Structure 1
């Protein structure tokens, strides 16, 4: 008998019919003798609906109250899934994140999980019940409801699997696995049978929407076996592993991209020690994550231009903060651009193969695509380009590296 944690996303529970289909799938697993914990998201579109309601009251909703509001989406789903299981003769019990004490830090809207008290869940499993838990949410030490940010249900599922020492964590979604790139952008994209945690972590951090980055970090840290499957079709999905014996053959595993990028530049900053901190410190204090950074010293050697990227949602606030910083530093100008995207090649095989970057740049140049920024690591190369070139760039790179020829 295995203990399995299954997570179902918003599209998987987007209607009563789909919720009933999830219940039938869960019952099949239980009938095979397995213990099941089911983590669910809000029904598709519900979180966006709630955010719109909040913004009708406050353009920038109070973070604490927004968490209270958003957490109701998952509460609806857990009740309906539990009812559907009970209707099939499968004993089930639902819990909010607070009820199973998913303890988080105090950062509203982007909270991080600190601890989970699994005793209540274990008691129900031992009693023969399926436990249905609300993803995306927790509670801080003050008893306030918190949410984990977009895709947080993945993190909830992996964290619960780690706490329970589950045999496998299965992420059910609207795709049947991890692909070489988004099939909606490149129809010739192929499903990967397996991918390393390191590659999946890069893919998630670079814009792949299949899994949330923190869920992959959790899985890798606590060695939770992780599998991505389809809620609608049977199949083995994609297994995320700790090592891949075929890295010599697979130079590039996939292409990730992120539409949610924005670029900010502060021009004419004094070139002196501590200036980078003076620029990025106030951004960090606003809980805004910075991604790519470029600094160029001016010909006179006395000033520098400093460019960095942030999530597009954080662009207005970042621009406001940077203008204040520019005034304090006596900088010449602040500019910004929220019509950019990031395209990234990912593959552990990069470590043992030279020339990947030059092939990438050549493929983009052939299509007339200008590169605005470049960032590299051991297993990835990222470029920032104008948003209008996203699909063309992805398709060109997919063909240049032969990803359409991988076995499915």
Structure 2
């Protein structure tokens, strides 16, 4: 087969890809397979979703979105956040957070700890209240909030089964505006990073690590009912940009959500990109590292020192913040975090050369590499940053003794040959 990820930068090694149209079909395949993994919307850049056995794609399973009796909402795992968000808005409901891309599947995003943004906002995974997993025998196992294994079963890298259905906490709908500021002095950003990153409901700083300023700051403000909000002409010395801007590095193929301070529904402002547009650059490689937000100034200063070495391979970096959670393998487990994201040119040799420099610069700050993106550190070494690794490994071996859901990536983490 020659199936590739969304960006076309990684080819899967599976023998067969099964595109199913019902959970029952997926259950049948899992029960018969010796090695099997789920394939979602293919937004991972490393081997986390791969297998040398069978891949099962659930993206064509009907969303079957339901409002549950307890006020939560559930949907088929292959449903994209964009489809779910549109359904929620029609019901006057909302999620607390969204990733930059609404095109990603719920189950895949949750399993790899995709985080969204906002200093007071938990990751996308933190909204999970239950997961229906197809287990090794093809039967459904439901793990719900409050169960002993729940915190280890959400960000689980596909190691515990295939997520057929996910249940999420929701809240009443709300509006958001996006404003763009230009040329924030690095000295100001580093002097009080908490204030800068917390000046909106969700804040993104875009940089190429060169010069004395952060070229763009996107501020997404959650609006009170009946108010359109107001933003100053100057924010921490940066200047309000009144003409809407695209995402840095994507101007030739700009599909960004509306900026310029125009209020709109949460689902049309919190993501960076529109569901009806091609997301981001496409022909790219991505990396990301999360550190404690308290270490932001030191870590960012360390990266600025090697900016000249980073820039040639880089399209753009984005800095965001996310609140702590208690999910065992979450990149934000136990600490409010700064997310340092790199969108690279599709130049594997250049990227491979610069990643060790970045990881060395961040090493004093105990970085956690995003589970679905490229890093120089091995999965086994990455897992040592997690206090509950031993508990997760035991859970994975108990749920899947023979490693049916394993692959090279997962097996290295759980200590399975």
- Do both proteins adopt the same fold according to a TM-score greater than 0.5, normalized to the shorter chain? no
Structure with a larger share of its residues in helix: 1
Higher alpha-carbon Rg: 1
Higher relative contact order (CA 8 A, sep 6+): 2
